[in-house]
Amino acid sequence: MINVNENYLKLQAGYLFPEIGRRVRAFAAANPDAAIIKLGIGDVTEPLAPAVIEAMHNAVDEMSRAESFRGYDGDGVGYEFLRNAIVENDFRSRGVDLDISEVFASDGAKCDTGNFQEIFALGNIVAVTDPVYPVYVDTNVMAGRTGVGVGSGGYEGIVYMPCTAENGFVPDLPDQDVDMIYLCFPNNPTGAVATKEQLKKWVDYARRRKAIILFDAAYEAFISDADLPHSIYEIEGAKEVAVEFRSFSKTAGFTGVRFGYTVVPKELKAYNADGSVADVNALWNRRQCTKFNGVSYITQVGAAAVYSADGKRQIQQTIDLYMSNAAAMRNSLEKLGYTVYGGINAPYIWLRTPDGVDSWKFFDLLLEKANVVGTPGAGFGAAGEGYFRLSAFNDPKKVAEAMDRLAKI
């Protein structure tokens, strides 16, 4: 008899985006003339940069000729030309020295943030922020590292670290021992970024407690404040305790192309049951070589073009467009009397719902009165109740229209 992995049965239904979709469809069916503006899901709207398109076209042509055709990418961790560009542009330029053997190319940060937990024991205690990107939690549930679900959308056995206006949306250190700490800065959904001093506290905690930090930097390209760290490795000692995940999805509009990478420093430590030190880089390499056969050559050539002079300029223009949307939204919402967070170093606005109205009620109100779709904070965790996320990924005209409509309700 074939039995299922019962850990999957603990998962609370992929509730948030399907529920948003259901409510939007029902509203659209009842109001066929409503021009709904979607500021909900975190997907980009601008096309790929011309430099990327040109490079990918050329790569397709290379694939069409026997002399330049490419099959498997060696051991599947990424071509050297791309990993060299990554190390040079994303790290050395910020004073962080990495070897390309510490960089693993992938088809996106969702897979990597979801898969990485696999190389750690099931007995580890997981800590996540609340609100949180659900992938970190659900993949640990599937693996069997948690108990059952509880009412508010959380799970027994996971340590939730509330992030609210009171702590500036950067979590305080837990007072119990935790082993696997998921952090995401700039943050989805709150738009907050941890300072170097704040990250230093986490790095020191992890070194003291022999824990690991799984650092998701998918939004680093949106940082505008020069003092903020783009990589956790800008913090002294971080290479001993942190993995870093990067994504081209929001940075370069690769949500439909698929490219990301994960940094696993050689110095990074985890421990065998007898207390001896294990080589995390080698374990991740083994995992990837066994279960993953690499990113397509065409995609890797496109990704490398992001680091060309034209590519850099073009993707910056797109980021500037999204961030000017964010600035316009902040400005309008503040004028309307909303308390607004984020939107300065991240493409998300995190607002407090007015008069303490619950976040799903606010969702319905915005949909019905302004035909604008956002994301209820409660969908990201219990501490997100009373907050609401608006995404800056949209056409500036639509953003302006959405703000006009909000002014009228």
Ligand X SMILES: *Cc1c(COP(=O)(O)O)cnc(C)c1O
Strand partners, 213: 181, 242
> Residue 230, interface with ligand X (CB under 6 A)?
no
The Cα 235–Cα 202 span in angstroms is 10
Residues in the chain, overall count = 409
Nearer to ligand X, 124 or 255 (CB): 255
Q: Which of 138, 216, 220, 385 binds ligand X (CB under 6 A)?
A: 216
Backbone phi and psi for residue 292, each to the nearest 5 degrees, phi listed first: -140, 135
> Residue 218, interface with ligand X (CB under 6 A)?
yes
Q: How far is the CB of 210 from ligand X (least distance, A)?
A: 26
Segment interacting with ligand X (CB under 6 A) among 70-78, 243-251, 289-297, 361-369 = 243-251
> Residue 108, interface with ligand X (CB under 6 A)?
yes
Contact 366, 360 (CB under 8 A): no
For the purposes of burial, counting CB atoms within 10 Å of the CB of 7, is it exposed (0-12), middle (13-18) or buried (19 or more)? middle
> Residue 381, interface with ligand X (CB under 6 A)?
no
Segment interacting with ligand X (CB under 6 A) among 80-88, 145-153, 247-255, 359-367 = 247-255
Q: Which of 58, 124, 164, 255 binds ligand X (CB under 6 A)?
A: 255
Q: How far is the CB of 108 from ligand X (least distance, A)?
A: 3
> Residue 109, interface with ligand X (CB under 6 A)?
yes
Query: Residue 260 CA to chain centroid, in angstroms?
Result: 11
Structure tokens at 405: 């409509």
* Helical segments of 78-125, H only: 80-86, 109-115
Segment interacting with ligand X (CB under 6 A) among 68-76, 163-171, 200-208, 242-250 = 242-250
Q: Which of 133, 215, 350, 360 binds ligand X (CB under 6 A)?
A: 133
Output the CA torsion 89→94→96→99 (10° steps): 10
The Cα 225–Cα 228 span in angstroms is 6
> Residue 306, interface with ligand X (CB under 6 A)?
no
The Cα 54–Cα 19 span in angstroms is 39
Nearer to ligand X, 247 or 288 (CB): 247
Nearer to ligand X, 250 or 371 (CB): 250
Contact 351, 390 (CB under 8 A): yes
Contact 267, 99 (CB under 8 A): no
The Cα 89–Cα 93 span in angstroms is 6
> Residue 319, interface with ligand X (CB under 6 A)?
no
> Residue 379, interface with ligand X (CB under 6 A)?
no
Q: Which of 249, 288, 359, 391 binds ligand X (CB under 6 A)?
A: 249
Longest dimension (CA), the chain: 67
Number of residues that bind ligand X (CB under 6 A): 14
Segment interacting with ligand X (CB under 6 A) among 204-212, 246-254, 274-282, 359-367 = 246-254
> Residue 184, interface with ligand X (CB under 6 A)?
yes
Q: Which residues bind ligand X (CB under 6 A)?
A: 42, 108-110, 133, 184, 188, 216, 218, 247, 249-250, 255, 260
